[in-house]
Structure 1
């Protein structure tokens, strides 16, 4: 189980430091129903990651993702494909990054966050975790890594729980500051939001290039060993 955790911790960290969900939760916390909606957004995020990871585990187990303590060929192909996807996405993001960080613009949907109902906030958290083109490949790769390790079901579930918790730290940090930070929380969160907004594209580009190359290496290793 230790080797599996080593494989998925980097992927979980990649999900955790995604700037857009962090900006989203900070904006949600600044709304009149910030406490409720912030918790709902985080719960939705947890549910989205857990559901996608669980689906991957359910697919991997009966599909013989592991044999003789070695990942199946299709796991190597999947990691290779995800690696290519992430490298291509990271390269595209890097070329599209603003030369002047102060000119960076947030997605238009963020301007409507203060008008979202609690149900929609919950759905937004779920969607950003499970359906986002940036986070889903990392969660799928983590599920494949866990499912291909030949672990008992209990250890697979425990590994997925560790992945989900680590991948949620990026949201738990601003939520914790909001709930426990008192009067200084608003200033602290505002500074975090401004930095994340300015450097979002560059951070994501570097992140996906690094993780994409790791998945490429993992895929090649599975296919050639």
Structure 2
């Protein structure tokens, strides 16, 4: 189990520091029902990550490892494909980053967050976790790594739970600051939002490039061994 945790911690950390969900939860906390909406968004995020990870466990576990406890060929091919995708996406993000960080623009849908109902806020959390093109490949890679390791079911579930908790720290931190910090929290969260908005593209470009190279290396290693 220790080796698996070593493989997935990098993916979990990358999901946790993804700037867009952090910006989204900070904007949600600033709405009139910020306390309720912030909790609903975070719960939706947790369920989205858990569901996507569980699907990958269900797919990869039955055919995950060979008799020698070596990951199956399809796992190597999946990691190779995800690695290519992340490297290409990272390069594209880096090329498209604004020359002046202060000119960075947030997605248009963020402007409507204050008008979303609690149910839609919950759905937004699920979607950003499970359907987001930036986070989903990392969760898929983590689920495949866990499922293909030949671990007992209990250890697979425990490994996925650890991944989900670490990947949610980026949301739990501003939520905790808001719930415990009172009025002073608004200035702190505002500064975090501004920094994340300005450096979102560059941060994700570097993360995807580095993790993409790791997945490429893992995929090649599995396919050639």
Matched residue, 2:77: 77
Cα distance in 1 between the residues matched to 2:11 and 2:20: 17
Cα distance in 2 between the residues matched to 1:30 and 1:146: 37
Cα distance in 2 between the residues matched to 1:134 and 1:109: 16
Cα distance in 2 between the residues matched to 1:218 and 1:161: 23
Extract structure 1 runs of 4+ deviating beyond 6 A.
Answer: none
CA RMSD between the two structures: 0.4
Q: What is the CA-CA distance between 1:175 and the residue it aligns to?
A: 0.2
Cα distance in 2 between the residues matched to 1:161 and 1:23: 24
* 2:183 match: secondary structure: helix
* 2:82 match: secondary structure: helix
Q: What is the CA-CA distance between 1:182 and the residue it aligns to?
A: 1.6
Q: What is the CA-CA distance between 1:86 and the residue it aligns to?
A: 0.3
Matched residue, 1:47: 47
Per-residue CA deviation, residues 42-83 of structure 1 (Å, 9 max, x unaligned), is 000000000000000001122x11011110000000000000
Q: Mapping of 1:28-177 within 5 angstroms?
A: 28-62=28-62, 64-67=63-66, 68-177=68-177
Per-residue CA deviation, residues 190-223 of structure 1 (Å, 9 max, x unaligned), is 0000000000000000010001001001101111
Cα distance in 2 between the residues matched to 1:180 and 1:17: 21
Instruction: List alignment gaps of at least 5 residues for structure 2.
Output: none
Instruction: List alignment gaps of at least 5 residues for structure 1.
Output: none
Q: What is the CA-CA distance between 1:183 and the residue it aligns to?
A: 1.9
How many residue pairs match? The answer is 224
* 2:213 match: secondary structure: helix
Cα distance in 1 between the residues matched to 2:219 and 2:15: 20
Cα distance in 1 between the residues matched to 2:47 and 2:123: 10
Cα distance in 2 between the residues matched to 1:109 and 1:213: 31
Matched residue, 2:212: 212
Name the TM-score, length of structure 1 as normaliser: 0.99
Name the TM-score, length of structure 2 as normaliser: 0.99
Deviates more, 1:40-49 or 1:178-187: 178-187
